Amino acid sequence: MSETGVHSREIHIRAISALGDAHLQEAYRSSTLRLFTGRVEAASEVPGWELLRDRARAIKHDVIEHLDYYLAQFADNVEGLGGKVHWAANGEEACRLVCDIAGRAGAREVVKAKTMVSEEIELTHALAARGIRSVETDMGEFILQLAGERPGHIVAPAIHKTRHDVSELFTAHLHAERTDDPERLTAVARRALREMFAQAGMGLSGANFAVAETGTVVVIENEGNIRFCTTAPRVQVALVGIEKIIPRFADLGIFLRLLGRSATGQKLTVYTSLLTGPRRPGEDGPEELHVVLVDNGRVATLADPKMREALFCIRCGACLNACPVYRKIGGHAYGWVYSGPIGALVTPEFTGIEQGRELPFASTLCGACREVCPVKINIPDLLLHLRSKAQEMTRAPQPKDSPVSERTAMRLWAWLMKGPRRYALAARLARVGQKVFARQGWVRRFSKFPLSRWTEGRDFPALAPKPFRDRWKELSS
Amino acid sequence: MAAKPPRVALFITCLADQFFPMVGECAVEVLRRLGVEVTFNPAQTCCGQPAFNTGYRQETREVAARVLDLFDDAEFIVAPSGSCATMVRVFYPELFADDPERLKKAESLARRFYEFSEFLVKVLKVEDVGASFRGRVSYHDSCHLLRELGVGEEPRKLIRAVRGVEFVELDDYRLCCGFGGTFSVKFPEVSVAMGEDKLNAAKRAGAEVLVANDSGCLMHLAGLAHRQGLPVRTMHLAELLAKRE
């Protein structure tokens, strides 16, 4: 089974190991480029794309500012339709609720749609501990379940697996014949899954949106597995992060146009399912519908007026595809279930700044993420905010070759920069000192942090013989 | 141009001051050529960006507060750096949001503070500065300049107007070079891998010279090219515009 817990402090070593894996590098490079290009083309087809983004942002802003109101409205409407609403403060509670529902339903098997919240709360492990087998029915998640891995991407969980990798897994676990043909590989998964759909006592999904006005859970997908999960089993559970609310049914049109295009470059995904209450007399669908509303760190995020904006996210993954750092280090480097720029925001918020403190630093703040975000989250600005939060609340790790702590170094730096004479004197001393290191204008190796890190892969320029301030006297005479 | 020549206070930036004074000299030369009166206040040091980007806001405020006072009476302040200009224009007002007096000063400073290429094109309304240089030249957008200040066209106009220059665009010109301030030493392996991509793009484009407007990106790319013995030459825009070859 997949990894558990938060490993975000390991981002440095995980990043290096990803960089050293040529196979992985190529998988991430080609897939992110394809998704990135698809988004650019799909967005360019829509007149008023920018207005759509502004509108979506305004709606999300309203939702997050009045979340209590909209959540209550949503819950009332779900119950009014005959569904059951459950509230979970954290992952443990959410898992217990779902396990209890499965227990009461007598389900020994659960078919799962792709849901990031279930990854977040490690639901598969909780179900297994109660003797309930859960099967991932999304192709990507199905592959990862066999591989025992967490998703490498929010939207394309098996982004890092090539068709060859998939064939290897299917041969080893499902005794399938070796093939690199995607269609035949899909057929293998399909055969394995059909059986499960028929016998599972409970279906589990996430939610892309939850409409307050109508109590509707909206799920989008391309494979039809979610529709199966949400209609075939007798009992259906939707795991919904509390930030997934949108106020009105009419708002859905705005978000659906943005989400498919931003995520995969599709105008709409192949399936859009609207789940409004359990089965009504004479209709198809589950007899029981349970909606589990999950907090798990979201209310704490709401409490920080600046970080609140991170809850606007509709999980399209566009920021991952655009991020030059994500493209290099991959999803697993982030050490939890969300990766890329949005992962660097929500992981420290949802799991605690202690665990996630290094993530906001894993960015050049280039802003490519903000450019593609469908709800215009100012990601670089939030990363900067989290960096200051990290420095206020925790201590920066001190590399072995660092003579002083980062905080001490920054205090010393500020002291120098506040006195132009001190600054000039320090530079003069450094000019004398660098004679030992510099050759023809370059330094090849420093022994102390931080410059030792610079010179691992690059040369460092020597200080100029004369700083500009001294040259100025000649220029102005 | 107005009858009275514009007065510019040069914000040299700490990197250019200590490592690349030539950038400052060239900027002064170009500005003077265009009839600008340039001044330099030697009390300046750094804008505070290293501490800000690493999350040390109090230390940043202490350094930034000095900058607010240094340029009170300057008509225009020009920096040969997109990220230092971003620090002053975008982040100073955020940094002093809770300090009404300093916020007022920060907002006033932000209105008078320009990046070099932006100042030439937007304020002086000049594209051809009378430079000449023979070679295939490409331009790397530094992220802060492009995405925070929205300056991408201006440097290209200036480069294209240089006599003898053949301008080529990189296929990934909007992509970050991997410098990222302290990111370059916190995640050096990733930083280097991104820099390699950028230098490869320059190679694919057949660029002999890669121009940028930020000393940070330039020292990262130059240091990488030097370590790997790559032929591409890096140059600050001010250096190119000062050339008369």
**DSSP string for residues in A66-84:** THHHHHHHHHHHHHHTT-E
Between chains, do A459 and B12 touch, taking CB under 8 Å as contact? no
Q: Considering the domain boundaries, does residue A200 fall inside one?
A: yes
Tell me what percent of the residues of chain B surpass a pLDDT of 70: 99
Pairing of strands A438-439, A442-443: antiparallel
Check if B17 contacts A (Cβ < 8 Å): yes
CA atoms within a 13 Å half-sphere pointing along the CA-CB vector of A368: 29
Pairing of strands A216-221, A271-275: antiparallel
At B181, is the pLDDT very low, low, confident or very high (cuts 50, 70, 90)? very high
Chain A partners within 8 Å of B24 (Cβ): 468, 471-472
pLDDT for B170 beyond 90: yes
Domain of residue A270, CATH code: 3.40.50.10420
pLDDT of residue B245: 85
Domain boundary among A243, A276, A299: A299
Q: How far is CA B113 from CA A457, B59, B95, B110, B216, in A?
A: 35, 22, 16, 5, 19
Between chains, do A454 and B46 touch, taking CB under 8 Å as contact? no
Domain boundary among A299, A333, A363: A299
CA distance A247 to B50: 42
Largest CA distance in chain A: 94
Between chains, do B188 and A456 touch, taking CB under 8 Å as contact? yes
- How confident is the prediction for chain B on average, in pLDDT? 97
Q: Which residues contact A333 (CB under 8 A, 6 or more apart)?
A: A11, A14, A15, A18, A339, A362
At B5, is the pLDDT very low, low, confident or very high (cuts 50, 70, 90)? confident
pLDDT of residue A2: 84
Q: Hey, of B45, B92, B142, B196, which one would you mutate to test binding to chain A, going by the most A CBs within 10 A of its CB?
A: B45
CA distance A42 to A267: 7
pLDDT of residue B3: 62
Check if B32 contacts A (Cβ < 8 Å): no
CB atoms within 10 A of CB A411: 17
Section B214-242 average pLDDT: 97
pLDDT of residue A241: 98
Q: Which residue has the tokens 């939060």?
A: A389
Give the 3-state secondary structure of residue B203.
Answer: helix
Q: Considering the domain boundaries, does residue A372 fall inside one?
A: no
* Count of the separate structural domains present in chain A: 2
Section B172-179 average pLDDT: 96
CB atoms within 10 A of CB A225: 26
Residues B191/B213, Cβ–Cβ less than 8 Å: no
Domain boundary among A275, A299, A323: A299
| Higher local confidence (pLDDT), A2 or B216 | B216
**DSSP string for residues in A255-310:** HHHHHHHHHHS-SS-SEEEEE-SSPPTT--S-SEEEEEEE-TTHHHHHTSTTGGGG
Sign of CA dihedral A276, A281, A282, A285: positive
CB atoms within 10 A of CB A184: 15
Between chains, do A476 and B52 touch, taking CB under 8 Å as contact? no
pLDDT for B2 beyond 60: no
CA distance A455 to A435: 17
Q: Considering the domain boundaries, does residue A311 fall inside one?
A: no
Section B119-136 average pLDDT: 98
pLDDT for B16 beyond 60: yes
Burial of B10 from C-beta contacts in 10 A (0-12 / 13-18 / 19+): buried
- For residue A443, what are the domain limits? 406-476
Residues A64/A268, Cβ–Cβ less than 8 Å: no
Encoded amino acid at A19, one letter:
L
Residue A293, strand partner residues: A87, A240
pLDDT of residue A41: 97
pLDDT of residue A195: 87
CATH for B127-242, options being 2.40.100.10, 3.40.50.920, 3.40.50.1860, 3.10.25.10: 3.40.50.1860
Between chains, do B194 and A325 touch, taking CB under 8 Å as contact? yes
CA distance B232 to B136: 11
Check if A463 contacts B (Cβ < 8 Å): yes
Which among B94, B91, B92, B95 has a CA at the least distance from the CA of B106? Answer: B92
Residues of chain A with pLDDT under 70: none
ipTM score of the complex?
A: 0.97
Residues B244/B134, Cβ–Cβ less than 8 Å: no
CA distance A220 to A113: 10
Whether omega before A182 lies within 30 degrees of 0, making that bond cis, reads no
Every domain of chain B and the residues it spans: 7-122, 127-242
* Chain A residues 255-314 within an 8 A CB cutoff of chain B: none
